Amino acid sequence: MERCLLLAGLGEGYTAPNPLVGAVLVHEGRIIGEGYHQQYGGPHAEVNCLQSVKYADRSLIPFSTLYVSLEPCVHHGKTPPCTDLIIREKIPRVVVGCRDPFREVNGKGIEKLLAYEIEVEYPVLEELSKEMNRRFLTFHQENRPYIVLKWAQSANHKITGNTGNRIHISSDYSNRIVHKWRSQEAGILVGTNTALLDNPELTTRLWEGKNPVRIVLDQKLRLPDSLKIFNGEENTIILNDLSDLSAGKILFKKVNDEKPGIQGILSTLHSLNILSVLVEGGAKLLESFISSGTWDELRIITNNELNIPEGISAPDFHDAKHLKSETYGTDTIAYYKHSMGD
């Protein structure tokens, strides 16, 4: 199962809104096949695993155990059900990391395997399996995207100055790490002021990986189309209060007004199948997520050698469990998880 989870992680950033899944086929202690879900719409982990079995080992499949980090699917989606494949290949035993909370599965895959007299063992390494798919589980269990908050601050806890001019706080190395974070999430969100003042591209140009969907909160549609977010090069969602309109890769989407504030934003993004979001500020938007209690991870980059006099203070946060800190040159990156209810 540890090998399954290692394989599953290789799909990070490419499978959303599908989960990360790894599969390993074992015959008498020897791995004869393995695979993982590589990209959304592509073959699932179980399919890639069985396809990897060498011709000489094909006859061993009906005498082997299949390990899979998430319950095999039982419904027709982009691909056929993996339970049908397992049944067809006459695999006698399946070991599952954790159940799939998606309403079309959620125990039904295990039930179908048992109905065909296939031995099923679960859960195995359940907490690690759930951690691997924390985005997927949050999306389906809480009906909202998984939220990662991020900001960079000076040594005196300022995220920008009062002049309106952009200040580069984090180092080049830290910026590359941020672009890696971007590649791991389905979407990236900024507010109107950040889009207007920083004119960001919101891409992974400093890291090899898939660009997230660019999401901008522009309630009154006051942002000029000269900004980089309107260049039409990447999928972009403009959340607003006025208009639903699609133009190429740019979607103008009215926020669900049946739910207030952040809840309306999250509900709208959930309806658009955005599995996870990296929120990059500014202060007002970040504080809205913190005060609403709807966030899952927090990552703060602190430049220990920079002080910004009379700048805008970084948000205060609470209900946070410190996970670790890493220092790279002038910068320290602190990682937190939302601890409410723990």
Residues annotated as catalytic (active site), given as ranges: 46
3-state SS record for 268-285:
HHHHCCCCEEEECCCHHH
Rounded CA-CA distance 316/288 in Å is 11
Give the integer Cα–Cα distance in Å for 298 and 261. 20
CA distance 149 to 298: 5
How do strand 297-303 and strand 146-154 relate by DSSP bridges?
parallel
CB atoms within 10 A of CB 19: 28
**Residue 219, both tokens:** 């309630």
CB 4 within 8 A of CB 66: no
Contact 158, 167 (CB under 8 A): no
Structure tokens at 136: 């997927």
Asked if omega into 17 is within 30° of 0 (cis), the reply is yes
